[in-house]
């Protein structure tokens, strides 16, 4: 039992360190701790705009979401692994080739996730917070309860996703019925029941009953998954008529039409599609909108629409990650194309999908009745988006989903981007129309991208 667990932890570490670079990946928890430390120093300031309780709840939900994503990757990440490593063969999938039961493997897999991600994320986060507490005159006891609450939140996320996946393995229809019923029940009851986001308000007033409740939320779904474990997922072979030709004909005005068509098909056919736009783009934008609303209380001179357009530029740069997510240059290396050709094609796909961002910008301009600032907002969005994209292309080439986890590259990314962001926000406060000059940044972005092409063409061979 312990041998398998030890093997799985080693395996997880080696997967990560081979993806993100051994030493740089080892630095990741340290960076996280430093960021938690710095973030915690701002708590006295943040307290003036957002109630303390809400702050803790946001952090708890962040860890719960993290648990959900770790669990999802563990269960559905095989495809991603195969794209990265050729034919990945992880211990989690070895029950058919080794004399080990699926339950044994699953139990070890679960315990491995708990231990590994606790030390990778939860512990450094709580430690950074603990180091900051004496400086902001907060009782050290809170660091212990934050550690416990974050760990519980993470475990809840993990057990929920395992629970869902077990149902999914038995019946996709049953899972759909459960999810739809939950959504309907929540929407109906929301008007009648005072819905509290505090599932486990243990942090502020610890009690035995709350911790017991949290443990039940973790153990019941996990036990269910363990008892009803099934590893064969319902898989449907999907068939598609040739759409590549049709799409590339439609886009033939674009030099990279065949690559762009492939990207759009990848995007549409891979898990996500429209859901990805809603959850990974529109949802974070809504969060940013709320954040700006809160900031407005603190800095009333902010031009909400223009500041939103600046953040829209940053968020939309993540589209590039979507297009590179399932692709690896190895799939093209034997064809007569350079790395830079593939990067250029991804940039073209990026420009096309950014029509969605443009639609959001127009919608917000009309909704907030801020059309007068549309031009500076549009130019800020385009400039920041180009610059953020150029930075990613230069630093990470075709592997942003991998390389941005490398501590050194992530810091470089932050250092290249954040000063500029502050300058843009500052200018928007002085006079939003100063931002009409922002396209100067596009020239700089062009230069950075060109250097990126050269860098990645030379690096690949």
Partner 1 sequence: MRIAIEMKKLTKDFGKLRAVNDLSLSIKEGELFGLLGPNGSGKTTTVKLLTGQLKPTKGSATVLGVNASKNPIKVREIVGIIPEQESPPSFLTSEEYLHFVAKIRKMDNINEKCSRWLQFLEFEDQKDVLCKDLSRGTRQKLMFAQAFLHEPKIAFIDEPLINLDPVIQRKVKDYLQSFVKNGGTIFFSTHVLEIAEEICTSIGIIDKGKLIYKGPIKDLKRKRQHLEDFFLKLVRDA
- Binding partner 1 (rule: CB under 8 A), the pick from 11, 102, 198, 266 is 266
Closer by beta carbon to partner 1, 300 or else 336:
336
- CA 290/CA 352 separation, integer angstroms: 27
Q: Contact region for partner 1 (CB under 8 A) — 89-97, 141-149, 327-335, 418-426?
A: 327-335
Burial of 202 (0-12, 13-18, 19+ CB in 10 A): buried
Burial of 184 (0-12, 13-18, 19+ CB in 10 A): exposed
Handedness of CA 363, 367, 371, 377 (dihedral sign): negative
Site residues for partner 1, window 85-114 (CB under 8 A)?
86-87
- Binding partner 1 (rule: CB under 8 A), the pick from 62, 243, 254, 318 is 243
CB 224 to partner 1: min, Å: 30
Closer by beta carbon to partner 1, 293 or else 333:
333
Q: Check binding of 331 to partner 1 (CB under 8 A).
A: yes
CB 70 to partner 1: min, Å: 23
102-117 vs 208-227: helix axis angle to the nearest 10?
Answer: 140
DSSP 177-221: HHHHHHHHHHHHHTTTS---S-S-TTTTS--HHHHHHHHHHHHHH
Closer by beta carbon to partner 1, 194 or else 459:
459
CB 379 to partner 1: min, Å: 35
Q: Check binding of 265 to partner 1 (CB under 8 A).
A: yes
Give the 3-state DSSP-derived string for 106-174, with helices as H, strands as E and coil as C.
HHHHHHHHHHHHHHHHHHHHHHHHHHHHHHHCCCCHHHHHHHHHHHHHHHHHHHHHHHHHHHHHHCHHH
**In 3D, which of 316, 307, 318 has the Cα closest to residue 358?**
316
- CA 170/CA 174 separation, integer angstroms: 8
CA 340 to chain CA centroid, Å, is 26
- Binding partner 1 (rule: CB under 8 A), the pick from 244, 285, 314, 362 is 244
Q: Check binding of 239 to partner 1 (CB under 8 A).
A: yes
Q: Contact region for partner 1 (CB under 8 A) — 78-86, 156-164, 224-232, 448-456?
A: 78-86
Q: Contact region for partner 1 (CB under 8 A) — 1-9, 331-339, 420-428, 432-440?
A: 331-339
- Binding partner 1 (rule: CB under 8 A), the pick from 99, 187, 209, 240 is 240
Q: Contact region for partner 1 (CB under 8 A) — 131-139, 231-239, 348-356, 357-365?
A: 231-239
Residues that bind partner 1 (CB under 8 A): 79, 82-83, 86-87, 235, 237-245, 248, 258, 262, 265-266, 269-270, 326-327, 330-331, 333-338, 461
């Amino acid at each position: 039992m312990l041998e398998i667990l030890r093997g799985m932890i080693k395996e997880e570490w080696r997967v990560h360190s081979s993806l993100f670079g051994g030493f740089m990946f080892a630095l990741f928890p340290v960076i996280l701790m430093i960021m938690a430390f710095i973030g915690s120093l701002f708590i006295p300031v943040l307290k003036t705009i957002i109630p303390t309780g809400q702050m803790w709840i946001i952090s708890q939900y962040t860890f719960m979401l993290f648990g959900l994503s770790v669990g999802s990757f563990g269960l559905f990440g095989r495809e991603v692994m195969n794209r990265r490593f050729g034919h990945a063969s992880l211990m989690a999938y070895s029950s058919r080739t080794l004399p080990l039961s699926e339950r044994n493997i699953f139990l070890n897999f679960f315990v491995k996730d708990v231990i590994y991600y606790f030390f990778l994320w939860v512990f450094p986060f709580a430690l950074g917070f603990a180091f900051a507490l004496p400086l902001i005159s907060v009782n050290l006891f809170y660091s212990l309860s934050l550690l416990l609450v974050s760990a519980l939140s993470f475990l809840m996320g993990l057990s929920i996703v395992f629970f869902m996946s077990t149902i999914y393995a038995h019946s996709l229809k049953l899972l759909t019925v459960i999810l739809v019923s939950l959504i309907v029940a929540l929407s109906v009851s929301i008007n009648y029941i005072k819905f509290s986001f505090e599932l486990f308000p243990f942090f502020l007033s610890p009690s035995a009953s709350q911790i017991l409740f949290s443990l039940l939320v973790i153990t019941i779904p996990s036990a269910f998954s363990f008892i009803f474990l099934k590893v064969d997922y319902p898989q449907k072979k999907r068939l598609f008529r040739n759409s590549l030709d049709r799409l590339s004909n439609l886009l033939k005005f674009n030099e990279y039409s065949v690559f762009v068509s492939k990207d759009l098909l990848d995007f549409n056919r891979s898990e996500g599609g429209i859901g990805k736009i809603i959850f990974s783009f529109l949802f974070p934008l809504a969060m940013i909108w709320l954040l700006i609303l809160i900031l407005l209380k603190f800095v009333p001179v902010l031009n909400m629409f223009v500041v939103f357009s600046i953040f829209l530029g940053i968020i939309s740069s993540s589209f590039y990650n979507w297009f590179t997510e399932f692709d690896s240059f190895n799939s093209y290396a034997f064809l007569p194309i350079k790395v830079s050709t593939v990067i250029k094609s991804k940039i073209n796909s990026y420009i096309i999908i950014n029509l969605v961002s443009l639609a959001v910008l127009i919608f917000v301009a009309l909704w907030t009745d801020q059309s007068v600032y549309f031009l500076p907002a549009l130019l800020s969005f385009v400039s920041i988006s180009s610059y953020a994209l150029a930075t990613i292309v230069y630093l990470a080439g075709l592997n942003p989903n991998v390389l941005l986890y490398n501590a050194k590259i992530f810091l470089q990314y932050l250092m290249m981007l954040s000063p500029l962001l502050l300058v843009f926000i500052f200018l928007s406060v002085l006079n939003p129309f100063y931002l009409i000059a922002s396209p100067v940044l596009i020239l700089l972005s062009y230069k950075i991208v060109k250097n990126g092409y050269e860098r990645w063409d030379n690096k690949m061979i």
